[in-house]
Chains A and B, each alone.
Chain A
Amino acid sequence: MSSQKLVIDSVSKTFLEKKGGKSTVALRDFSLKIGEGEFVCLVGPSGCGKTTLLKLVAGLEHASSGYIYLDGKLVTAPGPERGLVFQDFALFPWRDVTGNVAFGPEVLKVPLAERLRITEHCIDLVGLSGSGHKYPSELSGGMKQRVAIARALANNPEVLLMDEPFGSLDAQTRNLMQKELLRIWQDNQKAVVFVTHSVEEAVYLSNRVVVMTEGPGTVKQIYAVELSYPRSRTDHGFISLREKITGCMAEECR
């Protein structure tokens, strides 16, 4: 199917513990197809392998079995076509905003003029124009996460992987960042895989919400969110879907 951007095909991941040779199954037989420009949220109890899945897609970990394809190509290692955004930002503290955003184009040896143009564009896109010379220690949590998103976007990735990116932000900043993320996503129409433990966030943002089972993680249920953007959190459809998904998750925790 040509419209499938990212295909995760019955992926399992087993971690061997260093001591005692015990093994933990983080993911079992996880399959998911993500379409071009689709926004998918993964929700599930902590320890259900959400982060592991993202790391597998990013290429930072190798699947014990199963395959992951991006545009039909097998994922074996990290690559700039898959941008990853961490919860704790992971900015380079010795680089200013511009330097952080320019990191990707820099290591990919994009010519300087082009690099500057991309960097400036991405900084504008996340609403940080004029803060290019600031260092991460001078930025608030929300601003740091904007930098992290701009940095991931600077490589113009085919898919953006986000691991609870707003988890450490205060409620107000989080709501603002959700709006901003939707705006950015609607601007550039990249596929997004977004991990969160907040059902509300998932329903607010995504086209589909994937509920995962408690470890080992598998797909429990997939909900299509057929509400038009911008969404209202007090809308009847919004609330009922949120409750439905919350109920599904609660079953899992029992």
Chain B
Amino acid sequence: MFLLIWEGAALLADIPQLFPTPVAVIVALGQLLVAPGPPGMVWAGELMSNTLISLWRVVVGFALAAVTGVFLGIIIGWWRNARDLLEPVIEILRPIPPLAWIPLAMLWFGLGFKPAVFLIWLGAFFPILLNTVLGMENTPHKLIEVARTLGAGPWQILFKVGVPSAAPSIMVGLRIGIGIGWMCLVAAELTGSNSGLGYMIMYYYSTMEASKTVAGMLMIGIVGYLMFLGLKKLEDNMLFWKTA
């Protein structure tokens, strides 16, 4: 239904270079799939090579954000002193949109892989951090008391009670983080890159091939959705005890 309305509207508008029909988008997808990739990745085709480049950036940036965000989140959420010390800094940095860091990222890291990874890290870091902190702080007091009466020491309580108790909240943070990271990636590639899906849609904007731009957008949507699904699946597997 949606596709039909789109097709009709696009045909009526009759400006294919600005408003492509779904059929044109599918054709464009096919063309991008078979078009050779950039040097070094010719085999993958244009679409898949750019997707892989983008994915790799997200994987690296997200992994960094997950490690740093969870690590710091555990510390801040568990020890009051750490929180008093670090919270003001975080609360000031947090409202700055990741996109506002793009100029600085380009100054520091130039073009391509590094600034993109930096921006993804930045975008994913805060939701992961905040949800980890929240999860740690909400560790039921009673469970800590039980662990103490059973003979657990402070570190055992942290790792055997605090962290597992925060796990659902951490997973929520990771899920939000990867979504924001993916958006930041595309934004970073639009400006600070010469490869990746973001760059690709920008490139076809400059050549006025809207069908290929839309094809790229579609790919961004699909990959984002798949990552979300993957993480959701991981979450369900890890946290089966919640709903079992």
Contacts and interface: CB of A to CB of B under 8 A. Distances in A.
Contact of B241 (A78, A86, A93, A108): A93
Interface in B136-165: 140, 142-143, 145-153, 156, 160-161, 164-165
A60 B145 contact: yes
Contacts of A28: none
A151 B241 contact: no
A94 B164 contact: yes
A88 interface: yes
Interface in A122-137: 135-137
A94 B167 contact: yes
B149 A59 contact: yes
B146 A84 contact: yes
B164 A83 contact: no
Interface in B28-56: none
A93 B148 CA distance: 17
Interface of B: 140, 142-143, 145-153, 156, 160-161, 164-165, 167, 239-244
Interface of A: 55, 58-60, 78-80, 82-84, 86, 88, 90, 92-96, 103-104, 106-108, 135-138, 151-152, 155
Contacts of B147: 103, 107
A7 to B, nearest CB: 19
B139 to A, nearest CB: 11
A139 B188 CA distance: 50
A103 B150 contact: yes
Contacts of B167: 94
A-B pairs with lowest CB-CB distance, top 10: A80-B151, A104-B150, A78-B148, A107-B152, A84-B149, A90-B142, A135-B244, A94-B164, A135-B241, A78-B149
| Residue among B161, B164, B241, B243 having the largest count of chain A Cβ atoms under 10 Å | B241
B140 A155 contact: no
Given A94-B164, A135-B244, A137-B244, A86 B151 contact: no
A11 B161 CA distance: 31
